[in-house]
Amino acid sequence: MSAPIVEFLVTGDEVMRGIIADTNTQITASKLFPLGLALRQTTVVGDRGEDIRRTLLEVSARADFCLVSGGLGPTSDDLTAACAAQAAGVPMRTHAPWLEHLKQRWAKIRPNETMPANNLRQAELPESAEVLGNPDGSAPAFALRIDRCLFFFLPGVPREHHRIVDELVIPRLLEATGNAVLRSRILQCYGVTESRLDDLVSPIREAHPEVRFGFRTKYPENHLSLSALAPDAATAEANLSRVERMCREVLGSFVYGQDGVTFAQAVGEEVARRGQTICCAESCTGGLLAQLLTEVGGSSRWMVGAFVTYSNGLKESALGVPRELLQQHGAVSEPVVRAMAEGARHRSGSTWSAAITGIAGPDGGTPDKPVGTVWLALSGPPGTTARPAKYRGDRGQVRLQSAYGALQLLREALGPGRAP
């Protein structure tokens, strides 16, 4: 069978007003996609009966399944169950087993209080609904068919929502897919623009419609996602790996990793694989490079630390950069960045050290050394190398590109046929 059409409907004035972010849909979409249940549309409306009913009916004519979240609580702005009944053209009725469950639940949690009448509303459900329940709350999830679409009505509270999706909804959806299998891969690239990436892979994309191509910018990186959906795992895997191999061939060393690794992590793990260590010497990046390396869990295996020498005085005292170099060449210069890298390696005893000094802006630029002028250096077993760079963008972008540039220096040094 062809892949079923799945939609989401999210309700709630607070989402409409930007007070809360709807995080449920992203998490649930990311669970459904690998199952071959591609989400086709998400609609978000406020707590207005006419908008909820209209959307239910629109969705009912075009989707096979719809996950609805929000509006099942006990308060007066919780309209979803009544709107579902109206859209389906059935009356509401009290669901006796859930009413009993609610009473028992209340007696257990608050034995000395009477349950407010409002709470009884949560046992009022559309007559044709199939109650799915709720392991963690008082609002029951339920399923209801309207026209061609089977709707799953779910509480919006994230903890309740996700448990019900995992335990009660996904098994039902999987049954319906006829076991279609998806295999996907994200190739993470650095050093190539999005349009160049597209140019490089587009002949492959055109020749292989059995795999879907997607592009994503995660500044300053660009990612290529490949997705193969097939009736069985072997076909999906074969299609994916064939196309992945071709893409890797044209992209070469632009690909630094796959499936969620970070650039710093990829470089750091290569350092770790060799039983080596790294230390940083940072001026304009002010700790950003160290922070990218240490946000990786377990980085203490290969990360020694960093000297953030923002002032010239600290470049001298913490790294041993000679004052004459700073005076003669300025802090943003090849001799100083080399001395920083060598000082950090010497003082930390690390295998490698990466150094950065530059002008991140918005102030501090000169005609000679405008904002974006950066010197990078790497010191390690083969010696010390330095590289100048000119970056564009605002302060944050210059800093991020500088940190990536330093990591790239190290990555090149660790590359095939390079330093052992």
Q: Which of residues 37-56 bind a second copy (CB under 8 A)?
A: 38-47, 51, 55
If one asks whether residue 288 binds a second copy (CB under 8 A), the answer comes out as: yes
| Amino acid, res. 293 | L
**Does residue 271 belong to the site contacting a second copy (CB under 8 A)?**
no
Which residues, numbered 168-197, are part of the site for a second copy (CB under 8 A)? 186, 193-196
The distance from CA 132 to its chain's CA centroid, rounded to whole angstroms, is 31
> What residues between 11 and 40 interact with a second copy by CB under 8 A?
13-23, 25-33, 38-40
Is the separation of the CB atoms in 340 and 309 below 8 Å?
A: yes
CB of 335 to a second copy, least distance (A): 20
Q: Which residue has the tokens 């992945």?
A: 244
By the rule CB under 8 A, 73 interacts with a second copy: yes
Contact criterion met (CB below 8 Å) for 124 and 106 = no
Q: Does 291 bind a second copy (CB under 8 A)?
A: yes
Point out which span in 80-88, 142-150, 209-217, 377-385 binds a second copy (CB under 8 A). 209-217
Number of residues that bind a second copy (CB under 8 A): 99
Give the x-and-dash track for 368-407 against a second copy (CB under 8 A).
------------------------x--xx--x--------
C-alpha to C-alpha distances, 241 to 106, 210, 252, 386, nearest whole angstrom: 54, 12, 16, 38
Backbone phi, psi, residue 276, to 5°: -105, 180
Q: Per-residue x/- mask for a second copy, residues 224 to 263, rule CB under 8 A?
A: -x--------------------------------------
Distance CA 30, CA 42 (A): 13
* Residues 225-263 as b or e (16 or more Cβ within 10 Å = b): ebbbbbeeeeebeebbeebbebbeeebeebbbbbeeebb
Tell me: does residue 355 bind a second copy (CB under 8 A).
no
Q: Which of 361, 407, 415 is nearest to 387 (CA)?
A: 407
Q: Is 317 in the site for a second copy (CB under 8 A)?
A: yes
Q: Closest CB to a second copy among 286 and 335?
A: 286
Residue 119 burial (CB < 10 Å; 0-12/13-18/19+)? Answer: middle
Q: Applying CB under 8 A, which of residues 84, 125, 169, 303 lies at the interface with a second copy? A: 303
